[in-house]
């Protein structure tokens, strides 16, 4: 750890049953606030999924408390040193799942019972280019558009709950070794479990996800940046052969900057260079730029979330998409 580091950001998850999880979420929120942490934690009957940020001392106290709870002592924290806290507020909410997949029945999918073989980063690196291996990105479009493993298969999905309906498009890869990966590992727990349930026999997952791979394998062959679910938006993970793969939505110039559209009704997540950002006032289209409710663009493209009307057109467009999986082109 850098001796000048004042703050850290912790990324973690743990599949472990929680009795009266709704009350646990309420109590856990107060505990986090007592440590002056900020972040976002999802609590469900099946476990915890969180990213929290605060001083080094507060983060250590939080990790100590999690480890001291017998339900969560197998939790693995991914720790980043940061210049400032990665969130503005602290949220801890009870939900049906710790990652929204629609796979809520533990009798059908239970990562504690059956999931893909965990591969440590260096084992993933050694295995990913073998002829009988397919590397599968189980993340959403906005995530893999800004960064992905070289030659990975990506799926055209806007959120993880669309993953189950894409399984049939992966039938061509049955008989091969499927190496799944995501940001921190949580999506792969259920994605690999579902692949096994659907008849894929040789299924693996990158343990600790892209973040741990960056720390332990130098991020080799991960092209672009890794999307993260906090104010940093994206982070560098490749110190071996880094590259930029994302382009500006408006002009096509290479850029790693990802923002939300300044039109709150749209709120599209997309990449936009600084020049187009100022020219478009942080909007993805001229129509959004003219929206009377447009938020003020300050150059970051990050906005504190406030409730917005449901965008029916956007939901409908996503619901009726049916595109085949894409293979990331080698640069």
Query: For the segment 289-324, what is each residue's pLDDT rounded down to a tens digit?
Result: 999 999 999 999 988 765 445 444 544 444 444 434
Answer yes or no: do 86 and 125 share one domain.
no
Lowest-pLDDT range of 8-17, 105-114, 130-139, 294-303 = 105-114
Among the candidates 226, 241, 256, a domain finishes at 241
Among the candidates 241, 274, 302, a domain finishes at 241
pLDDT for the residue numbered 104? 64
CB atoms within 10 A of CB 292: 5
List Cβ neighbours of 323 (8 Å cut-off, separation of 6 or more).
156
CA distances from 266 to 146, 174, 245, 246, 309 (A): 20, 38, 24, 21, 10
Tell me the average pLDDT across 270-290.
97
Query: Could you tell me the two tokens for 32?
Result: 């986090």
Tell me if 100 is assigned to some domain.
Answer: no
Residue with tokens 């892209």: 210
Phi-psi group of 16: left, alpha or beta (phi > 0 → left; psi -120 to 50 → alpha; rest → beta): beta
Among the candidates 223, 241, 259, a domain finishes at 241
Tell me the average pLDDT across 252-263.
95
Tell me if 1 is assigned to some domain.
Answer: no
Contact, 233 vs 272, CB < 8 A?
no
Question: What is the C-alpha to C-alpha distance for residues 325 and 320, in angstroms, rounded to an integer?
Answer: 15
- Domain containing 82: what range? 7-94
Residue with tokens 């940020």: 53
Terminal CA-to-CA distance of the chain, rounded, Å? 34
Answer yes or no: do 121 and 39 share one domain.
no
Answer yes or no: do 176 and 278 share one domain.
no
pLDDT for the residue numbered 305? 66
Percent of the chain, pLDDT > 90?
83
Answer yes or no: do 149 and 197 share one domain.
yes
Answer yes or no: do 237 and 149 share one domain.
yes
pLDDT for the residue numbered 306? 56
Lowest-pLDDT range of 62-76, 152-166, 188-202, 309-323 = 309-323
Q: How many residues does the chain have?
A: 331
Q: The pTM is what?
A: 0.84
Answer yes or no: do 121 and 185 share one domain.
yes
The pLDDT-based confidence of 200 (bands split at 50, 70, 90) is: very high
Answer yes or no: do 177 and 218 share one domain.
yes
Answer yes or no: do 23 and 124 share one domain.
no
In whole angstroms, what separates CA 77 from the centre of its chain?
Answer: 15
Tell me if 112 is assigned to some domain.
Answer: no
Please list the active-site residues.
182
List Cβ neighbours of 331 (8 Å cut-off, separation of 6 or more).
223, 243, 245
Question: Are β-strands 147-149 and 117-119 bridged in parallel, bridged antiparallel, or unpaired?
Answer: unpaired
Tell me if 300 is assigned to some domain.
Answer: yes
The pLDDT-based confidence of 102 (bands split at 50, 70, 90) is: confident
pLDDT tens-digit series, residues 228-249? 999 899 999 999 999 999 999 9
12: three-class secondary structure by DSSP: strand
Q: What is the CATH number of the domain that holds 41?
A: 3.30.70.100
Q: What is the mean pLDDT of the chain?
A: 90
**Number of folded domains that form the chain:** 3
pLDDT for the residue numbered 109? 81
Answer yes or no: do 230 and 131 share one domain.
yes
* pLDDT of 328 over the 80 cut: no
Answer yes or no: do 128 and 234 share one domain.
yes
Phi-psi group of 252: left, alpha or beta (phi > 0 → left; psi -120 to 50 → alpha; rest → beta): left
Answer yes or no: do 230 and 258 share one domain.
no
CA distances from 50 to 65, 106, 211, 253, 304 (A): 14, 21, 14, 34, 18
Answer yes or no: do 185 and 262 share one domain.
no
């Amino acid at each position: 750890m850098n001796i000048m580091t004042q703050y850290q950001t912790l990324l973690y998850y743990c599949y472990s049953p929680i009795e009266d999880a709704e009350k646990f979420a309420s109590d856990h929120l107060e505990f986090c606030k007592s440590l002056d942490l900020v972040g976002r934690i999802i609590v469900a009957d099946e476990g915890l999924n969180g990213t929290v940020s605060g001083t080094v001392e507060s983060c250590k106290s939080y990790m100590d408390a999690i480890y001291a709870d017998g339900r969560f002592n197998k939790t693995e924290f991914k720790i980043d040193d940061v210049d400032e806290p990665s969130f503005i507020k602290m949220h801890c909410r009870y939900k049906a799942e710790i990652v929204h997949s629609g796979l809520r029945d533990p009798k059908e999918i239970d990562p504690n019972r059956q999931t893909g073989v965990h591969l440590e980063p260096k084992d993933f690196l050694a295995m990913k280019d073998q002829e009988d291996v397919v590397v599968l990105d189980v993340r959403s479009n906005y995530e893999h558009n800004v960064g992905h493993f070289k030659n990975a298969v990506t799926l055209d999905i806007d959120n993880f709950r669309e993953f189950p309906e894409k399984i049939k498009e992966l039938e061509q890869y049955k008989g091969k070794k499927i190496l799944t990966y995501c940001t921190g590992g949580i999506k792969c727990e259920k994605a690999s479990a579902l692949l096994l349930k659907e008849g894929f026999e040789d299924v693996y997952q990158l343990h600790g996800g892209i973040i741990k791979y960056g720390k332990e394998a130098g991020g080799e062959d991960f092209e672009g940046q890794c999307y993260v679910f906090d104010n940093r938006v994206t982070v560098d993970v490749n110190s071996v052969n880094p590259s930029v793969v994302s382009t500006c939505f408006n002009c096509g110039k290479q850029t790693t900057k990802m923002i939300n559209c300044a039109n709150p009704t749209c709120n599209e997540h997309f990449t936009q260079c600084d020049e187009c950002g100022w020219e478009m006032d942080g909007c993805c289209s001229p129509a959004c730029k003219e929206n009377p409710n447009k938020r003020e663009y300050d150059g970051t493209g990050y906005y504190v979330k406030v409730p917005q009307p449901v965008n029916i057109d956007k939901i409908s467009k996503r619901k009726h998409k049916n595109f085949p999986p894409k293979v990331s082109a080698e640069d």
